[in-house]
Structure 1
Amino acid sequence: MSRFSPISRPGAPRATGAARSPGGSRKSGAPRAPQLLTEVLSRTDAFAPLRAGVEQIAAIQRDLGALLPDYLATSIEPGFIKDGKLALFAAHNALAARLRHLEPRLVADLQARGWPIDGVRIRVRPQAVKEPPQPKQARMTPVGAAALATLSETLPPSPLQEALAKMAARHLRRR
């Protein structure tokens, strides 16, 4: 059983829209261009409540960006206002704790900007783990590695001399 509806799968027959060839591509030629979310939501009145919610969250996000320090503003996602409480989602517990310290001032500042809130509800929503950066793959020419080895031999014993000798040996060994 697929977790996608038959309409959302490429190549699946559609009830409306352009006809598809057996390979799943559009017969009309070029693929559709990306569209702005606000443009899609403004096409019909059925999406009016959703559009209002999206616009509200975007406006709250802009205000939070102006009121909070950069490290907090980029790691906080606003939610909807429900029963006078604004839902805020922090990336991890440390940011949530910091946000709780700023809560009274933040509520006052948002009220001053016209938001009808009397408090915030802070929740932790972990973000996806980012892939670790690839290890450095720096390459050094044999001449450069030999120059480092020579330099390390001329220096008196020290942490710098040991580091240069180790680096020269590692790059000479690769060759």
Structure 2
Amino acid sequence: MSRFSPFSRPPSKSSRPRYAQPVAEVLSRTDAFAPLRAGVEQMASMRRDLQALLPDYLATSVEPGFIKDGQLALFAAHNALAARLRHLEPRLVADLRARGWPVDSVRIRVRPQSVQDPKPPKQARMSPAGAAALIALSEDLPPSPLQEALAKMAARHVRKR
């Protein structure tokens, strides 16, 4: 039994499955993308250098921008990271210059990451049999904080029903 419909053509030998390809490979196919390819390569190189120069907690939350008139734009995930980057700015500029980047100063911007929807509060549900078992257990225990907590929990779930 064939997996192809009898009315469809079988796949030709020249057709090959499509796979994800690196951006650099796609951009290198034509000269029309040469400026874009150069920018992508520069950003990738800058990201590698920043990850090597910055502490781990900063490197994962900082994105490099372009260098314009000797000023490098860096985008931080939030204000606290931006403040920490401002403290590291003189050393970072010196280290980037030592690596060959034409950087005279750094401009730090905050680019908040997308806000995730807050998780709904947990609402545990207990069956009537479970609540009855908790009540029975709390009545069998001697007076203690555990006995009080079980009685409160059982009462809360009995009230909901």
The structure-2 alpha-carbon separation of the partners of 1:135 and 1:47, relative to structure 1 and needing over 3 Å to count, comes to same
Report whether the alignment pairs 1:40 with 2:26.
Answer: yes
**Aligned partner (choices 81, 101, 109) of residue 95 of structure 2:** 109
Structure scoring higher RCO (CA < 8 A, sep ≥ 6) equals 2
- Who is 1:98 aligned against? 84
Whole-angstrom distance in 2 between the partners of 1:147 and 1:66: 59
- Who is 1:69 aligned against? 55
Query: Where in structure 2 are the equivalents of 1:153-168 lying within 5 Å?
Result: 154=141, 156-158=143-145, 162-168=148-154
Secondary structure at the counterpart of residue 88 of structure 1: strand
- Provide the TM-score with structure 2 as the length reference: 0.69
Higher helix share: 2
What stretches of structure 1 of length at least 5 have no aligned partner?
1-27
- Who is 2:113 aligned against? 127
- CA drift of 1:109 comes to 2.2
Whole-angstrom distance in 2 between the partners of 1:88 and 1:162: 55
Secondary structure at the counterpart of residue 133 of structure 1: coil
What stretches of structure 2 of length at least 5 have no aligned partner?
1-11
CA-atom RMSD in angstroms: 3.4
- Who is 1:13 aligned against? none
Moved more, 61-70 or 142-151: 142-151
Whole-angstrom distance in 1 between the partners of 2:89 and 2:95: 10
The structure-2 alpha-carbon separation of the partners of 1:57 and 1:146, relative to structure 1 and needing over 3 Å to count, comes to farther
Report whether the alignment pairs 1:54 with 2:54.
Answer: no
What amino acid maps onto 2:22 in structure 1?
A: L
Whole-angstrom distance in 1 between the partners of 2:144 and 2:128: 24
Whole-angstrom distance in 2 between the partners of 1:155 and 1:66: 61
Query: Where in structure 2 are the equivalents of 1:141-160 lying within 5 Å?
Result: 154=141, 156-158=143-145
Whole-angstrom distance in 2 between the partners of 1:162 and 1:113: 66
The number of equivalent residue pairs is: 147
- Who is 1:82 aligned against? 68
The structure-2 alpha-carbon separation of the partners of 1:83 and 1:32, relative to structure 1 and needing over 3 Å to count, comes to same
Q: Percent identity?
A: 78
- Cα deviation digits, residues 106-155 of structure 1 (max 9, x gap): 22222233322121111122221112235446566777666655665536
- Provide the TM-score with structure 1 as the length reference: 0.64
Q: Whose radius of gyration is greater, 1 or 2?
A: 2
